[in-house]
């Protein structure tokens, strides 16, 4: 005696027939169930099936159920069904079945052979699930994957390739049929290079959502074994058939080659610019030496002073190129480093005053384009030279300060000040000027800046300009 639960009413009662127990349980199941005899004819469909089709048990028995199969699926469905019966093997098939409202739904039908307790074959039992929604979602996903410009794979949690787009076929050289159902490791490199992730099931499962172009680099291989670098974007996705991973792969071989060519061209450019600055510096040093030799042969102090001024200007330009040659950046000058080279040289060239005058450099780390740095270097050269010559007569001591800083309004301030004797009353920034101040004014205009003189102690010569290319 066994206890069974009636489909309706929920009343337990005793039942002598196990077959009736099965029927009661089958009718309560939420899935579509059927059972066939040894002749292959279906004799039982549960209530869930009958409610789905809207037909009676008598209409469905035998092969009546096949009337609801979509005409395009009928032949394949029946062939699969009968071949499994003859071989007495489990089977699985997908077909469209007409619902009670006339709409066709996609059905996943799984059948297994059943046997009596004595081992005698008794027919088949099967269960069906409506997979229309999942299949629709899968189809939409397939369309999205197919339209992707990257090689795109849909991989199951077990690492099996479920979907492949045409771009993946083109990049990897495999036909779609050669990849579907295969482990994703079939595309993995045997020996990834340094900095490249090992592509495979664990990589895809553990990787978080990651956009292309963000540096997630892997090594993969084409059909035939040729390996190439790639970037991959990985996203977890729920397809209705369990968690899966969507991987978009981009071949970066050409990008690597372009970058290598660019890097080689930049190295060549750096070498060329370094050689140019080196030669310019050497040529300016030759001019400096020639001016020095010429000044030694001249007795006129005015001419000698003019040659000395020209020599200092040439040396200032030479130091700019020397600073560039010694740096890694051939387009911008570390102006503080330049001042630390120039100002001691100007002190040494000032006869008789080096012991009494101090030089103060209050310069922040300012990187200048070369077309700004050369005029600014000449400005400092002129103003410091003038201070050494005229601000401290009769071996008078004092301090010369060179200041370089960015201002709050985005301008850059370059000033040379000293605590020496006051300026002559008729000397100003815009009117009556010495030759040196006229040159400073012209150089300030060259960098698009302004030149002003502050007479308050300590007096200052101030140039303000916008940092950038002149």
How do residues 218-251 score in pLDDT, each as one tens digit?
888 899 888 888 888 888 877 666 778 888 888 8
CATH of 135-251, one of 3.40.50.300, 3.30.950.10, 3.90.1150.10, 3.30.450.20: 3.30.450.20
pLDDT digits (tens, 9 = 90+) for 412-462: 999 999 988 888 777 766 655 677 788 888 888 988 999 998 888 788 999
Q: Is the pLDDT of residue 5 over 70?
A: no
How large a percentage of the chain has pLDDT more than 70?
81
CATH of 332-470, one of 3.30.2130.10, 3.30.565.10, 3.10.450.50, 3.40.50.300: 3.30.565.10
Residue 392 binned pLDDT confidence (cut-offs 50, 70, 90): confident
How confident is the model at residue 324, as a pLDDT? 57
Among residues 192, 197, 198, the alpha carbon closest in space to that of 227 is found at: 192
Residue 83 binned pLDDT confidence (cut-offs 50, 70, 90): very high
How confident is the model at residue 468, as a pLDDT? 61
How confident is the model at residue 262, as a pLDDT? 81
How large a percentage of the chain has pLDDT more than 90?
24
Instruction: Measure the CA–CA gap between 44 and 235, rounded to whole angstroms.
Output: 45
Residue 284 binned pLDDT confidence (cut-offs 50, 70, 90): low
Neighbour count for residue 355 (Cβ, 10 Å) = 8
Highest mean pLDDT among 17-31, 181-195, 298-312, 419-433: 181-195
Token pair in block for residue 228: 């190439």
pLDDT digits (tens, 9 = 90+) for 93-146: 999 999 999 999 999 999 999 999 888 999 999 999 998 887 777 777 777 778
Instruction: Measure the CA–CA gap between 421 and 52, rounded to whole angstroms.
Output: 109
Q: Is the pLDDT of residue 377 over 50?
A: yes
Q: Is the pLDDT of residue 180 over 50?
A: yes
How confident is the model at residue 88, as a pLDDT? 92
Token pair in block for residue 85: 């019966």
pLDDT digits (tens, 9 = 90+) for 182-218: 998 888 887 776 667 677 777 776 765 565 555 578 8
Annotation: CATH topology of 31-130? Beta-Lactamase (3.30.450)
pTM for this model (two decimals): 0.43
How confident is the model at residue 283, as a pLDDT? 67
Cα distance between the two ends of the chain: 104
Contact indicator for 260, 282 with CB cutoff of 8 Å: no
Q: Is the pLDDT of residue 348 over 70?
A: yes
């Amino acid at each position: 005696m066994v206890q069974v639960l009636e489909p309706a009413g929920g009343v337990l009662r005793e039942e002598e027939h196990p077959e009736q127990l099965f029927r009661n349980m089958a009718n309560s199941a939420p899935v579509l169930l059927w059972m066939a005899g040894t002749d292959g004819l279906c004799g039982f469909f549960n209530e869930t099936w009958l409610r789905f089709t809207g037909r009676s048990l008598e209409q469905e028995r035998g092969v009546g159920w096949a009337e609801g199969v979509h005409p395009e699926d009928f032949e394949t469905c029946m062939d699969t069904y009968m071949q499994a019966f003859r071989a007495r093997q489990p089977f699985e098939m997908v077909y469209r079945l007409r619902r009670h409202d006339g709409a066709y739904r996609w059905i996943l039908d799984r059948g297994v052979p059943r046997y009596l307790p004595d081992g005698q074959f008794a027919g088949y039992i099967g269960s069906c699930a409506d997979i229309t929604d999942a299949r629709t979602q899968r189809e939409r996903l397939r369309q999205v994957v197919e339209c992707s410009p990257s090689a795109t794979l849909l991989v199951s949690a077990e690492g099996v390739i479920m979907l492949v787009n045409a771009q993946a076929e083109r990049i990897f050289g495999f036909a779609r049929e050669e990849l579907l159902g295969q482990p994703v490791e079939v595309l993995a490199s045997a020996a990834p290079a340094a900095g490249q992730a090992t592509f495979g099931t664990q990589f895809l499962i553990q990787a978080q959502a990651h956009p292309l172009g963000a540096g997630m680099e892997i090594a993969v291989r084409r059909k035939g074994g040729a390996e190439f670098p790639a970037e991959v974007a990985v996203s977890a996705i729920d397809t209705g058939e369990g968690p899966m991973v969507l991987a978009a792969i981009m071949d970066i071989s050409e990008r690597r080659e372009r970058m290598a060519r660019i890097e080689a061209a930049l190295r060549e450019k750096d070498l060329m610019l370094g050689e140019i600055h080196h030669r310019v510096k050497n040529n300016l040093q030759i001019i400096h030496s020639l001016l020095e030799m010429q000044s030694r042969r001249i007795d006129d102090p005015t001419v000698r002073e003019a040659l000395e001024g020209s020599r200092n200007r040439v040396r200032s330009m030479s130091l700019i190129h020397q600073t560039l040659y010694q740096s890694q950046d051939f387009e911008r000058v570390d102006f503080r480093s330049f001042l630390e080279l120039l100002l001691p040289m100007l002190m040494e060239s000032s006869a008789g005053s080096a012991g009494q005058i101090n030089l103060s450099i209050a310069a922040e780390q300012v990187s200048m384009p070369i077309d700004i740095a050369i005029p600014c270097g000449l400005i400092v050269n002129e103003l410091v030279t003038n201070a050494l010559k005229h601000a401290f007569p009769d071996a008078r001591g004092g301090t010369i300060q060179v200041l370089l800083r960015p201002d709050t309004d985005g301008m850059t301030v370059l000033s040379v000040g000293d605590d020496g004797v006051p300026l002559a009353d008729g000397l100003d920034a815009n009117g009556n000027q010495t030759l040196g101040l006229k040159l400073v004014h012209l150089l300030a205009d060259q960098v698009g800046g302004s030149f002003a003189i502050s007479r308050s102690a300590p007096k200052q010569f101030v140039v303000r300009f916008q940092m950038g290319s002149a």
